[in-house]
Amino acid sequence: MVNRSPEIDVSVFADRTAFDEAVQRARHAATAYYDTGDAVMTDADYDALADRIAASIAARPEWDDQGVTTAVAAGASAGGDVRHPTAMLSLDKIKTPEEVAAFVATLGGDACLVEVKLDGLAIRAEYVDGRLVLAALRGDGTTGEDVTAQVRRGVAGLPSELATPWTGEVRGEVYMTVEDFEAASANRVAAGGKAFVNSRGAVAGAIRSIDRAYAAPMTFATYEIVGDGVDASGTHLARMDRAEELGFPAACRLIPEVAGECFTAEQVTAAIDLIGARRSTLVFPIDGAVIKADAEATRRRLGLASRTPYWAVAFKYPPDTASTVLRDIEVRVGRTGRISLRAVIDPVHVSGTTVTKATLHNPQWVAEQGLAIGQTVAVWRAGDVIPRVTSPIGEQPHGLTPWVAPEVCPQCGEPWDKSSLLWRCHTASCAAANALAYWCSREALDVDGAGDSFCDAVIEAGLARNVADLYALTVDDIAELPVGKTTAGGTVMLGRSNAERIIAGLEASKQQPFNRVVTGLGIRMTGRSVGRWLAARFKSMTALRAATVEEIAEIDKMGLIKAQHVVDGLVAMSDVIDRLAGYGLTMEVVDDGGAKPLAGQTYVVSGSVPGYTRTTVSERIEALGGSASSSVSAKTTALVTAETTTAKAKKAAQLGIPVIAPEEFAHMLS
């Protein structure tokens, strides 16, 4: 079922003063939204305000004496110096299944399409003989800003030169993928600027600055095309085929499963639901779905209103961002010893749940934003991910003191290591507490069902202080551990079946190979590779504990510093290791007695090998007597990869080292 938004206030303003003040606020927000990318209020709050303005105008038309308030209600931005040959339209918004059905009914049985509504900026680009001659933003729909030079700096999907000497115009959305947004934001901070608030804001900021000092990768997808070889009286799908032929990605095909025609409200609703379900995992940002008639004949029959077509509507998903008040910031130490900040906020409804806690980036970000307790903030929750505070919203209230992070770790009272953005605590007691989750992770002992919330709960309940304590736990001990909260604020308990699964997982972990036990100890500066090297070189915990720093440092790529950490770590965990041995964990390399066909050989695996993870493929090579390395050298027997253009592949070619395809290697290993 299409989600319903919680009830919103669409009441008419009480008087002219309140109305004018609301118009001012909406205008200010719209300017910020389109022109600087700054967040003054959340999209949901803006939409609600615009709805109230529209409702007020409907009830009191005389209030709209300047004739501009309708534009505000439609979310208009300032225009620019490029006049659009035909208006760049906006879309009417709908939110309920009834509205979907009503729209589908107007199509009279004609086909429509459901596609993603990308959350970026509308842009149009003119080409003459295959060369980009003009790119302009939507602006107020009639005129927009010239961004030709910026687009020529590079927007994926909107090339400066096409392979074909095509003349025509494409319209669409310029946006940032999630990854590009993170990169652009980091680049801007590195260049001395502020982090971007959201990806649409980042596009608005980046595409306007001609001489920006930071890289900001952007992407284009089209939803309209006119020009050579484009059938203006055919279907949208046929036009999008032509666009793709020319090299422009089509918005309607970004999620291939919904790229077909729909005829009934049920089909449309199913497509909307499918896009909604994918929303949190998409690599591009969306703020809704667009439902549009496919055939030009249908579009002509339905026609246009002044700013919006009757042949298309935008379905808005319930907002995944809401605004609320920051009440406290709790500082905790995460499983890797890194600082983690948790915002305590006034309860707020977002993406279908009530949220009272949210994560925050890092202390530096908080300081840059000047965040203060009592400030209004935007909280973002996509799908099932942990809610996150993304930005302060609106004006900073006077008299609030910016929040300052504590100088010491709240768990042990020692000063932070501030050498990276996510400060760390390295003390032994904290490390021991955070070590549980690492021990249980896939990289190490791979204990089924024992995730972060279980490990946190075990520590908080005082049931375990180190990894050895896990093996003394019983189902009864852990079945009632609190591991989460319900939407209503109640406690979620682990439960017996999960508890049984974890205890079974711990039992099964006793069969894991020795290298994983070494890795699982979580010694500083070591990971699964070091675990495997140590296991391969020393074969048993007894031999490993007896090894000197120099002996360990002799292992290729190990070095004295890591070796010293290994020796120190083993001493610090001496009791834990003894107890683990007592519980039956594997404390030596178990030789399966099988043949060692790879003895003396060294393989470098780049990319994935079918049927193996990165860890298990290395383990298998070693079980067969070979060694696994990460860099190609003259000693390499063969490189396993499907690529031909990577640095490793080139180096292998230079050195004359054979390359084996991953499938073939999988076959060899079996």
- Residues lying near ligand IVH in the complex (CB under 6 A) are found at 89-91, 115-118, 122, 138, 173, 223, 251, 290, 309, 312, 314
Tell me which residue of 184, 188, 186, 166 sits closest to 174, measured CA to CA. Answer: 184
Q: Which is nearer to ligand IVH, 200 or 620 (CB)?
A: 200
CB 307 within 8 A of CB 90: yes
State the pairing for strand pair 482-485/491-493: antiparallel
Smallest gap, in angstroms, from Cβ of residue 14 to ligand IVH?
A: 30
Q: Which of 278, 297, 281, 300 is nearest to 289 (CA)?
A: 278
Instruction: Decide if 117 is catalytic.
Output: yes
* Nearest distance from C-beta of residue 191 to ligand IVH, angstroms: 28
Between 122 and 598, name the residue whose CB sits nearer to ligand IVH: 122
Residue 362: CB minimum distance to ligand IVH, A: 32
Nearest CB to ligand IVH, comparing residues 290 and 333: 290
Cβ proximity to ligand IVH: between 71 and 642 the closer is 71
593: CB partners within 8 A, 6+ apart: none
Yes or no: say if 632 and 657 are a contact pair by the CB < 8 Å rule: yes
Q: Which is nearer to ligand IVH, 26 or 116 (CB)?
A: 116
Which stretches of 269-426 are assigned E, i.e. beta strand? 286-293, 312-316, 321-333, 339-350, 353-360, 376-380, 388-392
Residue placing its CB nearer to ligand IVH in the complex, 86 or 630: 86
Q: What distance lies between CA 368 and its chain's CA centroid? A: 22
3-state DSSP assignment of residue 134: strand
Give, as one character, the DSSP assignment of residue 157: T
Q: How far is the CB of 210 from ligand IVH (least distance, A)?
A: 22
Q: What is the smallest separation between the CB atom of 53 and ligand IVH, expressed in angstroms?
A: 17
Give the amino acid at 68.
Answer: V
- Using alpha carbons only, give the angle 255, 312, 112 rounded to the nearest 5 degrees: 55
Nearer to ligand IVH, 91 or 450 (CB): 91
Write the DSSP string, 205-257. HHHH-TT-SS----EEEEEEEEETT--TTSBHHHHHHHHHHHTPPBGGGSSGG
**Could you tell me the two tokens for 143?**
């005129």
Q: Which is nearer to ligand IVH, 47 or 446 (CB)?
A: 47
Looking at this protein, which amino acid is placed at residue 407? E
Q: What are phi and psi of 271, to 5 degrees?
A: -65, -40
Helical residues (DSSP H) of 487-613, grouped into ranges = 496-509, 514-520, 528-538, 541-546, 549-553, 559-572, 574-583
The SS3 assignment for 670 reads coil
Whether 393 contacts 324, CB under 8 Å: no
CB of 474 to ligand IVH, least distance (A): 55
Smallest distance from ligand IVH to CB 84, Å: 12
Give the separation between CA 414 and CA 112, rounded to whole angstroms: 62
**Least Å distance between CB 89 and ligand IVH?**
4
Element housing 221 (H / E): strand 219-227
Residue from 93, 117, 316, 648 carrying the catalytic annotation: 117
Minimum separation from the CB atom of position 307 to ligand IVH (A): 9
Residue nearest to ligand IVH (CB): 122
Give the chain's radius of gyration (CA, Å): 30
- Asked if 203 and 120 count as a contact pair (C-beta separation under 8 A), the reply is yes
- Distance of alpha carbon 31 from alpha carbon 441, whole angstroms: 47
Residue 68's region, left for phi above 0, alpha for psi from -120 to 50, else beta, is alpha
Nearer to ligand IVH, 94 or 640 (CB): 94
The residues assigned a catalytic role are 117
